[in-house]
Amino acid sequence: MFAAGWLCVGLGIFGIIMPGMPGTVFLILAAWLFSRSSPRFEAWLLGHPRLGPSVRAWRANGAVPRWAQFVATGSMMASFGILVMLGLSLPVLGMIGVTFIAVSAYLLTRPTA
C-alpha cells in the first residue's frame, strides 16, 4: 500500500500539471493508502500547502472545487468527442458515454470547496 500511495501521489501531481487528467482523485486515493500504511506520509500529504487542501476538503464533507467539477466534466466531454471522431463502435461509445455521464453527475452534485 505504501508504494501504491507514492504512485498515486506521482499520478496526482502529473494530473495537476497535465490537462485532462484528474489529479485530485489520485491524491485522495494516496491519502487513503497512506492512512493504512504510513500515518507519517498521510500527515505530510494532508499538510502539504498545494496538495493537501483538496484532500482535506474531500475528507471533511465530500467537497470538490467548482473549477475541478467543470474541468473534469469538460475533459470527459472532449474525450468523448475524440472517441467519436476515432470511430469507436456504438456499443463501446455507449458504455463510455454512460460512465462519463454517471461520473459527471456524481461530481456536479458534490458540495463545492
Neighbours of 10 (CB within 10 A): 12
pLDDT, tens digit, 9 for 90 and up, residues 74-110? 889 999 999 999 999 999 999 999 999 999 999 899 9
pTM for this prediction = 0.74
Three-class SS state of 103:
helix
Mean pLDDT, the chain, integer: 92
- In this structure, what C-alpha cell is assigned to residue 1? 500500500
